[in-house]
Amino acid sequence: MKAMKFILATSVFAVVATSAVASDDFLFPSGVRAEVGTTGYGGAIQWTVNPYVGLAFGYNGGDISWDDDLKINNSKYDQDMNNDMFYLNTEIRPWGASDNKWAEAFYVAAGVAYLNTTYDLDRHIDAGNTFSVNNTDFVAGVDGVHMEGRLNYRKSLAPYVGLGYSPKFGEHWGAFVEGGAYYIPDPRVRLTATGSATAVDNNGSFQDAVRQEGRDIADKSKNEWMPVAKVGVNFFW
């Protein structure tokens, strides 16, 4: 919670500070960009406040799937992300308009996003196979086992910090790469299972283990951080 408050306070301060020093040129966007990455695909409108500070207002959306991406209690789940988010970032360039073009391309991003994002969880176990749930080993019944759930970040405000690099190539074109993370405490998780399974040591309820694993996914500290990695192209006018 302290980390979230610190990041959010930093983000708000940065946005207020940039507004205070904005010139008349700030009224008009200085460029646009297209981007794709772990939060989906989309783009942003960019404003250059001064050589040291810029703003980016953008949108990312779309579906992305990963195999065996979520690992907990010796279990592995496939994830299908359904993303819908708007963000406002302040981009601070420590070297400003430097003679070293590669140095001036580096920036630190701080901001906030409105998230409407879910991760669908999926896991299939064939009949007779041994598998683990909540650190307990089970054997799948004659019809196998299908586990599914949802990790939910819907309608959340999330502070963001990241690092980026955006060199220009000519007067109007450039590229960028950025990595960081959104902080989202206490995601909501639903996990259910169909099919039967028997504990290897005959001492454990399969459905109880499923319910506990759902709670563990929600409580796992790494799920408070949504990683961001994206690349794209810029166009300036």
Q: What is the pTM of this model?
A: 0.74
Amino acid, single-letter form, for residue 12:
V
Run of H or E residues at 211 = helix 206-219
Query: Residue 40 CA to chain centroid, in angstroms?
Result: 9
Give the pLDDT confidence of 166-189 residue by residue, as tens digits. Answer: 998 888 999 999 999 999 876 788
| DSSP E strand boundaries for the chain | 31-37, 40-50, 53-72, 75-92, 106-125, 130-133, 136-140, 145-165, 168-169, 173-183, 188-194, 197-199, 225-236
Domains along the sequence of the chain with CATH: 2-236 (2.40.160.170)
Is the pLDDT assigned to residue 221 strictly greater than 70?
Answer: no
- What is the CB neighbour count within 10 angstroms for residue 150? 18
Q: What is the DSSP letter of 219?
A: H
